[in-house]
Amino acid sequence: MKISGVDIRPGNIIEYESGIWRAVKIQHTQPGKGGAYMQVELKNLRDGRKNNVRFRSAESVERIRLDTKDFQFLYPEGDMLVFMDKITYDQVSLPRDLLGDAAAFLQDGMDVVMEMYDEEAISVQLPDTIEATIVEADAVVKGQTASSSYKPAVLDNGVRVMVPPHIAAGTRIVVDVYEQTYVRRAD
């Protein structure tokens, strides 16, 4: 589906220079002289490269719709991660760096959504939040105000996050996977 260059929105998947790209950030600019254009930060979904491109309103790009499938994470195998299609039970191995920092939050049996383009896995989406246990937390420093001070803590998956002073080791918390931030105490 062709769209105008100024109609690109964050999250859109487009075909550009024979690659598959996701629009990460956009900035619409209307200079005093000349035509308006859209400054778009693109991320290549195959190799992770980033590119800044200017699209004028006269230019058009091919917008791509990706198919989504439900998969389940099975286990890590070296630098690869093994997933299983929840309908056909087929197994797919993907490189760990396709998930980036979110790979640390994968848990055995976790349900994920895989975005596919021509039966090729382009990206994997984890749930927005997960529950994790704190294995190590710094002691509270007396005199710090609870409203603004956070302390570092290490989760059971090795990721470091900042938590409120009242959170101690052994506490289960809810963590935002993509921001790697404390959300709340788990129930």
Terminal Cα-to-Cα distance of the chain (whole angstroms): 45
73/82 Cα distance (integer angstroms): 6
pTM value is: 0.67
User: Which candidate, 159, 76, 82, places its Cα nearest to that of 114?
Assistant: 82
- Looking only at Cα atoms, what is the longest distance across the chain? 62
pLDDT tens profile 122-172 = 778 888 888 888 888 877 666 655 556 788 888 888 888 888 888 888 888
Q: What angle do CA 142, 146, 147 make, to 5 degrees?
A: 150
Question: Is 3 in contact with 16 (CB distance < 8 Å)?
Answer: no
Residues 6+ positions from 131 with CB-CB distance below 8 Å: 172, 173, 174, 175, 186
Burial 97-127 (b: 16+ CB within 10 A, else e): ebbeebbebbeeeeebebbebeeebbbbebe
pLDDT tens profile 92-129 = 888 887 777 778 888 888 898 888 888 777 778 888 88
Residue 78's Cβ-count burial label (10 Å; 0-12, 13-18, 19+) is exposed
55/52 Cα distance (integer angstroms): 10
